[in-house]
Amino acid sequence: MPNFKDGSVFHQLPTDSNFDTIHAPGQITPFSGIYKCQSCGFECASVKGHTLPPERGCANHHSQWKASSGVVSWRLVAAAIHVTANA
């Protein structure tokens, strides 16, 4: 999970299904925030409208990452708030 110092800056949304959706590598990022690889736990930041990291295998995340195999799929774990309607 993402590291943080002050938990009071996070707003938990337990029923928001946007955090349940699984995204394919290279797909357009639906919400700016932190995404987690469902295979190995690697996390990345991605901006709405840009593409999620395109690598299809966990070994391509980073040379120093713990996982060396697996098929990549991304899930939103922390979303940046850009509009007050989502707050």
Would you say 52 or 58 has its CB closer to Zn ion? 58
Taking the complex as a whole, how short is the minimal distance between the CB of residue 58 and Zn ion, in angstroms? 3
Told to check if 58 binds Zn ion by CB under 5 A, we report yes
# binding residues, Zn ion (CB under 5 A): 6
Q: Which DSSP state fits 51? A: B
- Positions in 31-50 near Zn ion (CB under 5 A): 37, 39-40, 42
Residue linked to tokens 């707050």:
87
Sequential DSSP letters for 1-36: ----S-GGG----TT-GGGT-EE-TTPBPSSSEEEE
- Residues contributing to the site for Zn ion (CB under 5 A): 37, 39-40, 42, 58, 72
